[in-house]
């Protein structure tokens, strides 16, 4: 399940960055999708360093364990300006923080079906010169195409890409969802139907 959803949409987001080998890239949030995108970056762009921004120390350590060059809290400034950042969070604060880490001409790709309204006021802190000037770009991911899935599955087989999952019985679906929102999650939560 994580490959066909989080992995495939993560691949689409990676394509939209228009990354070139050697360009530094960031990931905001490090859960179901980002933990699959990191090995894709390492495979497709071996000279690109990956910088991870995550709210909790366990997620940051997981990113480092998988080969990220650096990991810090969401509000951090990366050691180097980034050419692209993929945001996989449900919140707005990471979007504003990510824009501060883009180099001129950099691209922020928002890989989320929706954003919560809880911290929408963070958008009021946008400053044109600090966050957008110098042709920084923001783009959302809408859907994946059949071609994206075909490409992704070939890449996943070559790596080989192995998602980290925590299994939950279907009757614990609410717990799995609450854990995603409120607890550090290593990889993806998966519901098992028996």
Residue span of the structural domain in which 16 resides:
3-164
In a domain, 181, yes or no: no
The CATH number of whichever domain residue 119 belongs to comes to: 3.40.50.720
| pLDDT tens track for 27-83 | 999 999 999 999 999 999 999 999 999 999 999 999 999 999 999 999 999 999 999
Residue 1, pLDDT > 80, answer no
Nearest one of 33, 43, 35, 42 to 13, comparing CA atoms: 33
What total number of domains does the chain contain?
A: 1
The pLDDT, as a whole number, for residue 157 is 96
In a domain, 192, yes or no: no
When pLDDT is averaged across residues 89-113 and rounded to a whole number, the result is 96
**What are the residues whose beta carbons fall under 8 Å from the beta carbon of 167, sequence distance 6 or more?**
190, 192
The pLDDT, as a whole number, for residue 114 is 87
| pLDDT tens track for 142-156 | 888 999 999 999 999
Nearest one of 124, 78, 106, 134 to 16, comparing CA atoms: 106
Rounded alpha-carbon distances, angstroms, from residue 113 to 20, 30, 105, 172, 186:
26, 16, 25, 23, 20
Local confidence band at 164 (pLDDT 50, 70, 90 cut-offs): very high
Residue 165, pLDDT > 80, answer yes
In a domain, 169, yes or no: no
In a domain, 38, yes or no: yes
Q: Which pTM was predicted?
A: 0.94
> Please, is 92 exposed, middle or buried when counting C-beta atoms within 10 Å of its C-beta (0-12, 13-18, 19+)?
buried
């Amino acid at each position: 399940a994580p490959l066909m959803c989080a992995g495939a949409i993560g691949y689409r987001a990676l394509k939209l960055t228009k990354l070139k080998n050697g360009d530094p890239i960031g990931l905001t949030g490090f859960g179901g999708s980002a933990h699959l995108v990191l090995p894709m970056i390492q495979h497709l762009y071996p000279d690109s360093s990956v910088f991870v921004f995550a709210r909790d120390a366990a997620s940051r350590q997981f990113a480092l364990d998988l080969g990220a060059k650096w990991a810090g809290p969401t509000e951090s400034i990366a050691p180097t300006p980034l050419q692209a950042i993929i945001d996989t969070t449900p919140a707005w604060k990471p979007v504003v923080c990510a824009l501060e880490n883009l180099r001129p001409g950099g691209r922020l790709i928002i890989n989320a079906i929706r954003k919560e309204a809880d911290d929408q006021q963070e958008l009021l802190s946008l400053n044109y010169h600090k966050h957008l000037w110098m042709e920084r770009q923001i783009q959302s991911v809408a859907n994946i195409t059949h071609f994206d899935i075909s490409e992704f599955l070939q890449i996943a087989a070559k790596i080989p890409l192995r998602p980290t999952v925590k299994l939950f019985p279907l009757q614990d679906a609410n717990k799995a969802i609450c854990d995603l929102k409120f607890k550090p999650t290593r990889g993806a939560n998966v519901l098992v139907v028996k």
